[in-house]
Structure 1
Amino acid sequence: MAGQDSLLRKYLVVAAVVTAYWVISISLVFINKYLLSSQDVKLDAPFFVTWFQCVVTVLFLFLIDGFSRLFPRLFAFSPMKIDKKISREVLPLSVVFVLMISMNNLCLQYVGVSFYYIGRSLTTVFNVIMSYLILREYTSVKAIICCIVIIVGFAMGVDQESVTGSLSIPGVVFGVLASLFTSLNAIYTKKVLPSVDQNIWKLTLYNNFNAVFLFLPLMLFNGEFARIPVFPKVLDPYFWGLMMLGGLFGLGIGYVTGLQIQVTSPLTHNISGTAKAAAQTVVAVMWYHEFKTALWWISNAVVLIGSGLYTWVRGREMKEQHERTPGPQYELLPTTARGERSQKDSDSEATSSV
């Protein structure tokens, strides 16, 4: 009986964590969409929105650190501090990180939430390409076939988006660039993690701290410093509440992603992410009362199937590789939301939300 109760509790924990991941991830996309291109907000300042979320992330990491110092028995957290040397070592990754989240948000600004997943679906393909070009890691024929399936689904999706009259060329371009920089972010993260003692929270701190300064010239170049003071909702508590909520969800997605991997596995996490993307697409179509053709839905299914098969194939291959050569094995896996990236170790799992 005790064993059954323990198993039930385990299932309940898994269900709660997966639900939290879905809710936070989907909510973050809808919040950012509202802030970036809503007719109610009308704030053409994508870099400012992302900059503010980075500021919120840094402040809350220090707040959590302070809380853990006051109540060490109740809450354990890695000490947060800024070291100039480490900050410089992380800087190349931070540049890629800024480009990644900028392209993500610019894509979301120009395309609908329903197309957002398709628009950024080439991340897995770029992971394979960049892993070979930078890390000289080879990919199996089966995994490459899965990538071809994803490319076919992406092309179908772009074509059907034009059929419905909602295609945005800048949105597609930003989506492809977002996929590229997301894959580069995963690769550079793998290289930089030793500088922060493999601590994902420290890496999140340094990435967002550097990003706070890196976004300033982008905001200046885009003319956002002139727009913000005359923004009609600059004193609106509801607007700033959503901005704060977006920052908190951006930080929270990192925690729930890591928690989901911890209570399940990296493979299950990516299957959950793929299913979440499908649910997000359906919710967006219903929420915005959009009409989509049958081929449009098929294109989404093709991308989801290709992504799911790639995750399964690479999981099987890494398991076989681990059995042949025991030791840490890492895998660059697909990303979602603000830039989640999971990295698998055969003995322990770590994840980063950036």
Structure 2
Amino acid sequence: MGQKEDSRGMVIFSVSFYIVTALIMVFVNKWVLNSVSLPFTLLWFQVIVAVILLHLTNFFGKLQLPVIEKQKCIELLPLISINILGLSFNTICLQYVDASFYQVARALILPFTVIFSYILLNQNSSNKILLACLIVCIGFFVGVSSERLTISIIGIIFGICSSISTALHAIVIKKSLNVVKGNTMDLVYYNNFMSAIAFLPLIFLFSEQNQLLKLFIKNPITNQYSMEAKTFLIGILVTGFFGFLINIAGFLQIKVTSPITHMISSAFRGVVQTILGYLLFGDLLTTGRVGGIFLILFGSCIYAWFKDQESKQVQNISNIDKKVYDKLERGDSLDDDCDRIEIVEENEK
């Protein structure tokens, strides 16, 4: 009983931890981007802070960081490239759309994941899964079409690009784990370290360094930095810290929760994000936006439920086949359907 309570407590903690860190990341990023248009500089500082915190954790013996190897860096280039694109698309999308609409703009992650799983991994999806994806797509179009006159088209385009890159990231990360022998924290370190290098040329490519230098020039009259500079400085420290935490939070949630719990917690986060967007930034909550978000979250939840049921069915079949095999190995006779039904019933208990 005590062990079950501890397990339940860990699930509640991990889910809450993930939701809080993710929400803080979104809203602090939006707060900074509303004041300063430096998306790539913001992302660079975030990964730099995450790398520094990882080294501090290593220094105090809480984590062992890997030695950077050239061959592993080369093998991880696809993951890093998609990660850079994903973070960039996410941030630029957030810059152009309301925090409450962010959920709608990036809603096509699930359908694209199913499409890429079929194209790249040759994984077929059941009709139930396709139905869930259809509901999500309808939610996206309801949310977008209802606000076509008030929502930035650029924000929606970057939201779709973000959905594509995030879907590809989920697929590529599976192969990338093999490069670091399944060590998730090693992958987190490589990801942040290489991303910090990759974002530097983007800062200069889009001439953000000039705006950054102007930002930190003191006002000659008051001899103080501008409010935008202070906002940017606070923003990079807060999001850098929580960017480091969200790596741990995501790993912890995946480790101690089921996919359906993860999806439901993401749906709950979407609802809270919409409400907070309305309260903190005065975002509009039109009928179309609310309806679109509801359909997206509903489709995501039933997708998770369908996947969970399918996984259990596969597991049950595997268990049944193992028990049949064990009987045959012992030399016991297998009385066709009767014996197989008995094993099924025993397994279901």
- Measured against the shorter chain, the TM-score band is 0.7 to 0.9
| Structure 2 residue corresponding to 1:15, chosen from 12, 16, 20 | 12
Deviation, structure 1 residue 178: 0.2
Rate the CA distance shift 1:216–1:193 in 2: closer, same or farther, 3 A: same
Cα distance in 2 for residues equivalent to 1:279 and 1:288:
13
What amino acid maps onto 2:282 in structure 1?
H
Structure 1 residue 87 and structure 2 residue 73: aligned?
Answer: yes
Asked if the contact 1:123/1:182 (under 8 Å) is kept, the reply is: yes
Shift of residue 52 of structure 1? 1.1
Q: Which amino acid letter does the alignment assign opposite residue 100 of structure 1? A: G
- CA drift of 1:230 comes to 0.8
The 8 Å contact of residues 18 and 272 in structure 1, kept in 2 or not, is answered as yes
Question: What CA deviation, in whole Å up to 9, does each residue of 1:23-75 have, x standing for no partner?
Answer: 11111100111122x2xx3x22111111111111112112111111xxxxxx4
Give the greater-gyration-radius structure (CA): 2
Counterpart residue identity of residue 192, structure 1? S
> Aligned residue for 1:225?
209
Matches within 5 A, 1:81-160: 81-160=67-146
Residue-by-residue CA offset, 1:76-96 (whole Å, 9 max, x unaligned): x23332112111111121011
Tell whether the 8 Å contact from 1:65 to 1:80 is kept in structure 2 after alignment. Answer: no
Counterpart AA for 2:108:
L
SS of aligned partner of 1:32: helix
Selected match of 2:300 from 286, 307, 310: 307
Higher helix share: 2
1:128 touches 1:139 (CA, 8 Å); kept in 2?
A: yes
Q: Does 1:31 align with 2:28?
A: yes
- For structure 2, which runs of at least 5 residues remain unmatched after alignment? 219-224, 320-349
How many angstroms does 1:244 deviate by?
A: 1.4
**AA aligned opposite 1:94:** I
Q: CA deviation at 1:142?
A: 0.8
How far does residue 324 in structure 1 lie from its aligned partner after superposition? Answer: 2.7
2:322 equivalent in structure 1: none
Q: Does 1:59 align with 2:45?
A: no
Structure 1 runs (4+) deviating above 6 angstroms are none
Structure 1 residues 112, 291: CA separation in 2 closer, same or farther (over 3 Å shift)?
closer
Partner of 1:345: none
Report the Cα distance in structure 2 between the residues aligned to 1:198 and 1:6, rounded to whole angstroms.
27
After TM superposition, give the deviation of residue 10 of structure 1 in Å.
4.7
Contact 2:264 2:301 in 1 (8 A): yes
Aligned to 2:240: 247
Q: Which runs of 5+ in 1 are unaligned?
A: 69-74, 327-354
1:62–1:80 Cα contact (<8 Å) kept: no
2:151 to 167, 172, 197: 167
Cα deviation for residue 12 of structure 1 reads 4.1
Cα distance in 2 between the residues matched to 1:262 and 1:194: 17
Distance 2:112 2:12 in 1: 32
Distance 1:178 1:233, change over 3 A: farther
The structure-2 alpha-carbon separation of the partners of 1:314 and 1:14, relative to structure 1 and needing over 3 Å to count, comes to closer
What is the aligned length? Answer: 310
Question: Do the aligned residues in 1 keep the contact of 2:54 with 2:189 (CA within 8 Å)?
Answer: yes
Q: Give the direction of change, closer, same or farther, for the CA distance of 1:233–1:174 in structure 2 (3 Å limit).
A: farther
Q: Deviation string for 1:165-211 (max 9, x for gaps)?
A: 43110000000000000011111111111111111111111112111
1:334 maps to none
Aligned CA RMSD, in angstroms, stands at 1.9
* 1:237 shift after superposition: 5.3
Q: Given residue 206 of structure 1, which amino acid in structure 2 is its aligned partner?
A: Y
- For residues 232 and 316 of structure 2, the distance between their equivalents in structure 1, rounded to whole angstroms, comes to 52
Instruction: Give the fraction of aligned pairs with identical amino acids, expressed as a percent.
Output: 33
The answer for the alignment partner of 2:329 in structure 1 is none
Distance 1:233 1:15, change over 3 A: farther
Amino acid at match of 2:211: R
How far did 1:8 drift?
Answer: 5.0
Q: Which amino acid aligns with 1:314?
A: K
- Between the aligned partners of 1:182 and 1:269, the Cα distance in structure 2 is 16
TM-score by length of 2: 0.83
Give the structure 2 partner of residue 318 of structure 1: 311
Q: Which residue of 2 aligns with 1:267?
A: 260
Distance verdict in 2 for CA 1:241–1:287, change over 3 Å: closer
Partner of 2:165: 181
**C-alpha deviations, 1:229-252, integer Å up to 9, x for none?**
111578655532320110111121
Cα distance between partner residues in 1 of 2:83 and 2:186: 15
8 Å CA contact 1:233–1:239 kept in 2: the answer is: no
Instruction: Quote the residue 2:182 is aligned against.
Output: 198
